[in-house]
Structure 1
Amino acid sequence: MTMLSAMLRSGEGRAGLVLLALFAALALTAPFVFPGDPLAISAPPLLPPFTDSAHPLGADRLGRDIAAELAWGSRTTLLVAVASALASLLLGCLVGTLAGFLGGWTDDVLMRLSDAFQTVPAFLLAMALISVTGPSLPAIVLAIAAGAWPQPARIARAEIRSLRERDFVASARVAGMHPLAIGFREILPNALPPVISLAAIIAAAAVLIEAALSFLGFGDPNRPSWGSMVAEGRSLLRSAPSLSLVPGLALVAMVLAIHLTGRGYAKALRVREPAA
C-alpha cells in the first residue's frame, strides 16, 4: 500500500488533500483566470460582492479586484508554506544527522545552537530578521525557516541515535563507507518518516506567520497576500466586512487543509509501520 492510498483511506487525509488540491488549482490558474497585475485598480472603490460579474467578490477601497487578489495571494501563501517547510526540514535533517551520528562535541554544539534558536518565539525572530533584511519573499521564507528548524533537527537526532547501532550500519562500517556517507545515505532515509510528519505543522505555522507579517506591514509589498488583505479591510469591518472576511476564511481553510493532511499522513504512517 502506497502512502498516498493509505492517506486516502482516512477521512482527514481525503479532506485535507482535496482542499489542498483546490488551493493548488486556484494558485496555478490565477495567471490565466486573472491575467495582469492583481494589484491594479480595475473597479469602482468598495464595489460590493456579487454585483458585477467581472468582479464577483467586489473591490477594495482602492478599486482592486478582491477575487484576483485572493487567487494570486494563494500563490504567495502556498509558496511560503512549501518553501519554509522544505528549508526547515533540510536544515533540521542536516543538523540532526550530524549531531546524532557524530555525537561528542559536535552533538553538544549543535544542540546548544538549537536551544538558542528555540528560546526566541518564531514570529518575533521572523519579524526581527525581516526588519534587518527588508520585506521580500525569499527573506520571509528564510526568516520562518530560521525559527522552525530546531524541532525537526531534534527528532532527526533522536531517530538517528536509535538507528546508528543497527546491523546495517555496522555492515556499512565494515564495508569501509565514510562516516558521513553512512549517516546521510544509510541512516537518514530510515529516520525521515517521523521528521516529514512535522512538515504539516511547519507549513501551517508558516501560513499564519506570513499572514501576520503582511498584516503588520512586513510582507512583500509587490505580492498580494491574504494577511495584507485582512489589514486593508480592518478599518471597514462595519461597512464592508467582506474585505477582511474573505481572506480570513481563506486562511482558516488553508490551515485546516494542511492540518487534516498532516493527520492523514500520521494515520497512514501508523498503518504502514507494522508492515515495515
Structure 2
Amino acid sequence: MSAPARILLSGEGRAGFVLLLLFALLALTAPLVFPGDPLAITAPPLLTPFTDGAHPLGADRLGRDIAAELAWGARTTLLVALASALASLVLGTVIGTLAGFLGGWVDDVLMRISDAFQTVPAFLLAMALISITGPSLPAIVLAIAAGAWPQPARIARAEIRSLRERDFVAAARVAGMHPLAIAFREILPNALTPVISLAAIIAAAAVLIEAALSFLGFGDPNRPSWGSMVAEGRAMLRSAPSLSLIPGLALVLIVLAIHLLGRGYAKALRVREPVA
C-alpha cells in the first residue's frame, strides 16, 4: 500500500483529509458559486447571518458578502500555504543537499546563512520583507518561504551526510557520475521522506503568518483574506461578533486539518507492509 493510501488508515489522517477536501472544494467552486468581485458591495451593511438566502452568512459593515469573502479567502489561504511549503521545501532541500554532500567550506557557509535566518522570527522576517517589497501574493509567499527554509535544509543535510558514504554512492563515483548528479539523482531521493514530513508544519505556519500579515494590513489588498476579515470585524465584536468569528473559525479548522493530516502522514511512515 502506498504512503498516501496509508495516511487514511488513521483517524487523524481521515479527518484532516476530509476537512482539507472541503476547504479545497470551497476554494475551487468560489468563482462558480460567487462570481464577480468578492469585495463588491452587494448587500445592506451589517446584514445578520441566516436572514437572507442570497447572503447566507450576512454582510460586513460595508455591505460585502461574508460568504463570498470566505470562499475567495480560502483560495488565498490554500494558495499561500501550498506555495510557501513548496518553495521552502525546494529551497531548503537544495541547500541542505549541497551542504551535506560537498561538506567543507560550502557546508560552513550555507549553515551559517541558515543560522542567520533562524535568528529572526519567521513572522518578523516576513513583515520586514513585505514592508520592503510591498504587499502582494508572490511577495507574501516568498517572505514566508524565506523564514521557513532553514529547517528542511538542516534535515536534508543530516540525511545526505548519513547516506553519502553508502555503497551505492561509491558505485556511482566509480561509474564516473558527476558529483552533483550523484547528490541529486542518487542520494536525494532516499533522503526526501523526513523532509516532506515538514510540509504540514510549514503549511500550517504559513496560514497563520498570512492571516497575521493581513490582520495588520500587510496582506494583498486586492484579494480577500481571512486575516483581513478578522481585522475588519474587530471593531464590532460586541454588536456583530460573526464578522470576526466566522473567518476566525475557518482559520482554526484549516490549521487543525493540516495538523491532523500531518499526524496521519507521520503514522503512515511508521506502518510497515506485512511480510508475505
How far apart, in 2, do the equivalents of 1:208 and 1:274 lie?
39
Equivalence map 1:1-276=2 (5 Å):
1-272=1-272
Counterpart residue identity of residue 262, structure 2: G
Distance 2:136 2:272 in 1: 41
User: Deviation per CA, 1:38-93, whole angstroms, max 9, x where unpaired?
Assistant: 00000000000000000000000000000000000000000000000000000000
Q: Which letter maps to 2:46?
A: L
The residue identity in structure 2 corresponding to 1:25 is L
Distance 2:4 2:98 in 1: 30
Q: CA deviation at 1:273?
A: 8.6
- Describe the SS at the equivalent of 2:169: helix
Structure 1: distance between partners of 2:227 and 2:172: 50
TM-score, structure 2 as length reference: 0.98
For 1:173-195, what per-residue CA distance to the aligned partner results, in whole angstroms no more than 9, with x for missing partners?
A: 11100000000000001000000
Distance 1:88-1:207 versus aligned 2 partners, 3 A rule: same
Matched residues in 1 for 2:103 and 2:135: separation?
A: 38
Question: Which secondary structure does the structure 1 equivalent of 2:37 belong to?
Answer: coil
User: Per-residue displacement from partner, 1:211-261 (whole Å, max 9, x unpaired)?
Assistant: 000000000000000000000000000000000000000000000000000
State the number of aligned residues. 275
In structure 1, distance between residues paired with 2:41 and 2:121: 38
Q: Distance in 1 between matches of 2:213 and 2:77?
A: 12
Between the aligned partners of 1:187 and 1:273, the Cα distance in structure 2 is 23
Deviation at 1:270, TM superposition (A): 1.3
Provide the C-alpha distance between the structure 1 equivalents of 2:5 and 2:69, rounded to a whole number of angstroms: 34
Mark the CA change 1:274 to 1:206 in structure 2 (over 3 Å): closer, same or farther.
Answer: farther
Q: Find the residue that maps to 2:125 and give its secondary structure.
A: helix
CA 1:213–1:274 in 2, change beyond 3 Å: closer, same or farther? farther
Question: In the TM superposition, what whole-angstrom CA distance separates every residue of 1:83-116 from its partner, at most 9, and x where no partner exists?
Answer: 0000000000000000000000000000000000
Q: CA deviation at 1:271?
A: 1.1
Structure 1 CA distance for aligned equivalents of residues 4 and 193 of structure 2: 14
Could you tell me how far apart the structure 2 residues matched to 1:123 and 1:136 are?
Answer: 16
| Deviation of the 1:272 alpha carbon | 3.9
For residue 271 of structure 2, give the secondary structure of its aligned residue in structure 1.
helix
Q: Say what the alpha-carbon RMSD is for the aligned residues.
A: 1.0
Q: Which runs of 4+ in 1 moved over 6 A?
A: none
Deviations 1:101-149 (A, max 9, x none): 0000000000000000000000000000000000000000000000000
Q: What percentage of residue pairs aligned between the two structures are identical? A: 88
Code of the residue aligned with 2:264 in structure 1: it is G
Task: Give, in whole Å, the separation in 2 of the partners of 1:270 and 1:220.
Answer: 40
- In structure 2, distance between residues paired with 1:130 and 1:273: 47
Q: SS of the residue aligned with 1:221?
A: coil
Structure 1 residue 274: deviation in Å?
9.2
What SS does the corresponding residue of 1:120 show, helix, strand or coil? coil
TM, length-normalised to structure 1: 0.98
| Distance (whole Å) between structure 1 residues aligned to residue 179 and residue 89 of structure 2 | 21
Identify if the C-alpha distance between structure 1 residues 160 and 69 changes in structure 2 by more than 3 Å, giving closer, same or farther.
Answer: same
Name the SS for the 2:219 alignment partner: coil
CA distance in 1, matches of 2:177, 2:253: 47
